[in-house]
Amino acid sequence: MTAIQDELSKMAATQFPLTRERAYLDAACIGVASQRAVDAVTHFTERTQWIPADSGTAHHGELNTARDAARPRAARLIGAQPQDIALVESATHGLSIAAQALPLKPGDAVALADLEYIQMGVTWSQLARGGIGVRRVPHTAGEVSVDVLRACLDDDVAVLALSSVQWTNGFRADLAAVSEMCRSRGIWLVVDAAQHVGALPLDVSATPVDVLVCSGHKWLNSPFGTGFLYLAPEIRERLNRPMSGFFAAVPPADTWGKAFLRPDISPFQDFTYTGDARAWEIGGTANYPGGIALASALDLVIEVGPAVMADHIVALTDRLLAGLDRLGMVVVTPRRRRYRSGIVTFTLGTSTADTALMHYLGGAGVAVSVRYTAGVGGIRVSCHWFNSAADVGLLLDAVGHFTRR
pLDDT above 70: residue 345: yes
Q: What is the pLDDT of residues 194-210, one digit of tens each?
A: 999 999 999 999 999 99
Residue 259's pLDDT is what? 83
Q: What is the pLDDT of residues 268-293, one digit of tens each?
A: 888 888 899 999 998 888 899 999 99
Q: What is the pLDDT of residues 135-170, one digit of tens each?
A: 999 999 999 999 999 999 999 999 999 999 999 999
Distance CA 389, CA 397 (A): 12
Q: State the CB neighbour count (10 A cutoff) for residue 285.
A: 10
Kind plus residue range of the DSSP H or E element containing 382: strand 376-382
**Rounded to the nearest 5°, which phi and psi values hold at 276?**
-75, 160
Q: What is the pLDDT of residues 206-263, one digit of tens each?
A: 999 999 999 999 999 999 999 999 999 999 999 998 877 888 888 878 888 888 888 9
Angle between helices 306-326 and 288-304 (to 10 degrees): 80
pLDDT above 90: residue 187: yes
Q: Which domains are assigned to the chain?
A: 3-25+305-399 (3.90.1150.10), 42-301 (3.40.640.10)
Q: What is the pLDDT of residues 91-138, one digit of tens each?
A: 999 999 999 999 999 999 999 999 999 999 999 999 999 999 999 999
For 286-308, what is the mean pLDDT?
A: 96
List, in sequence order, the alpha helices (H) in 133-232. Answer: 146-152, 175-185
DSSP lists the bridge partners of residue 345 as 380
Q: What is the pLDDT of residues 13-49, one digit of tens each?
A: 999 999 999 999 999 999 999 999 999 999 999 999 9
Angle between helices 56-68 and 70-78 (to 10 degrees): 10
Residue 262's pLDDT is what? 87
Distance CA 148, CA 138 (A): 8
93-115: burial string, b at 16+ Cβ within 10 Å, e else = bbbbbbbbbbebeeebbbbbbeb
Distance CA 314, CA 169 (A): 15
For 175-193, what is the mean pLDDT?
A: 98
Q: What is the pLDDT of residues 48-99, one digit of tens each?
A: 999 999 999 889 889 999 999 999 999 999 999 999 999 999 999 999 999 9
Residue 252's pLDDT is what? 79
Distance CA 96, CA 65 (A): 26
Distance CA 153, CA 187 (A): 9
Q: What is the pLDDT of residues 355-381, one digit of tens each?
A: 999 999 999 999 999 999 999 999 999
Residue 270's pLDDT is what? 84
Residue 1's pLDDT is what? 61
**Rounded to the nearest 5°, which phi and psi values hold at 339?**
-110, 10
